[in-house]
Homo-oligomer: A and B are copies of this chain.
């Protein structure tokens, strides 16, 4: 458990650096990310290298005992490089170049740019790869940010054709796989294939899905090239990349295969204001962030690199980039850090050290004000530093390592697969679909998954988020939330499991190419529970129906609306039925199939009932309280406005009640808003 910070020495006079380094150490920081946007400063003209300043900066930090995470600077190619390779620019979906003047102005398929990235990465890795203070690398920065995963350049087009050639035996196979018999879309050879752009109406969804897969592949290759060079010149130093939140524009599991550590950039208030489509939620959580958004991503990214993960950028105060940027409540900068450690973060690194008084992010706060004085968050970091010292001491006392390899940390798992998300998003109802559809809102697979996650978490459960090929043998409850495309591995793991399984709508409905399964949904999951989906419908927002029924345990459920509803053909008796006779909720042994996406309150009631039937111990958290178990520690974090008496929580196990009295490490059993209590069990 370490605290880091993102630092840009190139923005400040050298004379300031020692002061900064000393202050970092003083408030409890031990890790500094550096260099990821500094190509221009490292190589102001083609081939003219200026590495001295970076040596000096790293050395200055080192003298204060600060470790360095060094970024490759490939997210911000300088102007001379763009002028040297004009075709390195990505093209947007309308064919327009995405020009120099901000960042990420490159195409993942540009051969010239890939070569330049190899060159600069090798130069930097060779120069700094064995520096004693180097603790990790970061490749590039936030792949895909600002919609840069997909490019419609000629380079991309040619590479896509090659990718298609590699993936399909023959053009006939491809035509068959995509259903190109439809609308005379068949190709005679691979060189006829264009990118799915500027089509008169939507392009074939299989074409789109293939392009998304291809783009994931290009990002993987781009990233892998850097990791290979780094590992050659910087042996033993782990390589990371900083992923983002609410982001599914490429297959993160695929890219993470070549990384040692998955990191992500956590901006709870920015995400809420930018992405949430529920105005009420936006008001309630305006100054804390939604209590489950950061946690969801912590669990998601923990699943990527065998359990090794960081928060590489942590919001410290108001950001600049959301439509509205309110100030977090006092205490949140610390609390967000604790939530991350509760999910096993190795490091939480705040972004940024000092507010820059210029350029795009000048309204983004940091730990220091733009004039160099301390801002609020610096104080909170001091407290967080004290907190983690206490926590480390307990782990040490109890002879538990801070981290251990592996991703299994809980009894509950949610299946989330990126390609399954994409297959559905491409034709998402509601009027915003296709590869450039926005995330969130009704009908969104990622949103649905987060709602299921949130329901489980409101029951005090700790959750792992797993992929299609993850080992499922250790869980009591598995929620198949986003798996429209079911792999053989998933199908066979689910068949073998003794866990309770909750299958959510649209699961198993698609083939690998995104077409409908031959035998009707839920396709391969039909082997788990004998039913088929013979019709589905997407509902307008105005639609309301009150369904009152009970789950299989006899608990009353009521639901006042749903987004998506499926008609089931089966010999099973449903738990209830809608007013028009469509059944609702099916069970077969320990397998549940939920054939409607419910509003959140109904979903919570249902998930609660199923969790109990799975033998899980659930705790009735109120709207703002959350629990998370890590090693022998239990974190209780209060995002809500109410004071919580932890010992009075309904369902809290006796061991916790006891530990709350005997082994409370941080906080009190009377838990105030924006505060945390942590005990050992």
CB closest chain-B residue, reference A544? B283
CB closest chain-B residue, reference A197? B99
Is there contact, CB below 8 Å, between B200 and A102?
Answer: yes
The yes or no answer to A235 lying at the interface (CB within 8 A) is no
CB closest chain-B residue, reference A80? B188
Is there contact, CB below 8 Å, between A184 and B515?
Answer: no
Residues of chain A from 296 to 334 with CB closer than 8 A to chain B in the complex? 317-318, 320, 323-327, 329-330
Residues of B within 8 A of A187 (CB): 79
Residues of B within 8 A of A185 (CB): 40, 76, 79, 101-102, 359
The yes or no answer to A405 lying at the interface (CB within 8 A) is no
Seen from chain A, the residues whose Cβ lies within 8 Å of a Cβ on chain B are 8, 10-11, 37-41, 44-45, 73, 76-80, 83, 90, 94-105, 145-146, 148, 178-188, 192, 194, 196-207, 273, 279-280, 282-283, 286, 317-318, 320, 323-327, 329-330, 355-363, 365, 369-371, 373, 375-376, 427, 429-431, 515-520, 534-540, 542-543, 567, 580
Residues of B within 8 A of A286 (CB): 540, 542-543
Partner of A324, one of B182, B196, B323, B430: B430
Is there contact, CB below 8 Å, between B535 and A97?
Answer: no
Is there contact, CB below 8 Å, between A282 and B540?
Answer: yes
A559 to B469, CA, bound (A): 56
Residues of B within 8 A of A363 (CB): 427, 536
What distance in Å separates the Cβ of A315 from its nearest Cβ neighbour in chain B? 13
Residues of B within 8 A of A178 (CB): 358-359
A194 to B79, CA, bound (A): 10
A199 to B182, CA, bound (A): 38
Residues of B within 8 A of A192 (CB): 79-80, 83
Given contacts A357-B516, A357-B517, 9 further A-B contacts (CB under 8 A): A101-B204, A102-B185, A102-B201, A179-B359, A182-B361, A205-B360, A282-B540, A318-B536, A375-B534
16 contacts between A and B (CB under 8 A): A37-B182, A40-B181, A44-B188, A76-B184, A94-B96, A99-B200, A179-B359, A182-B359, A201-B360, A282-B542, A286-B543, A324-B430, A326-B538, A327-B535, A358-B516, A365-B535
Is there contact, CB below 8 Å, between B188 and A102?
Answer: no
Nearest 7 CB-CB pairs, A to B? A179-B358, A40-B184, A182-B359, A357-B516, A101-B199, A76-B184, A323-B431
What distance in Å separates the Cβ of A420 from its nearest Cβ neighbour in chain B? 16
Q: Which of A283, A370, A430 has the most CB of B within 10 A?
A: A370
- The answer to whether residues A105 and B41 also contact, given A429-B325, A542-B279 and a CB cut-off of 8 A, is no
A187 to B356, CA, bound (A): 19
A369 to B532, CA, bound (A): 12
Is there contact, CB below 8 Å, between B100 and A199?
Answer: yes
What distance in Å separates the Cβ of A267 from its nearest Cβ neighbour in chain B? 15
Residues of B within 8 A of A536 (CB): 318, 363
Is there contact, CB below 8 Å, between B518 and A359?
Answer: no
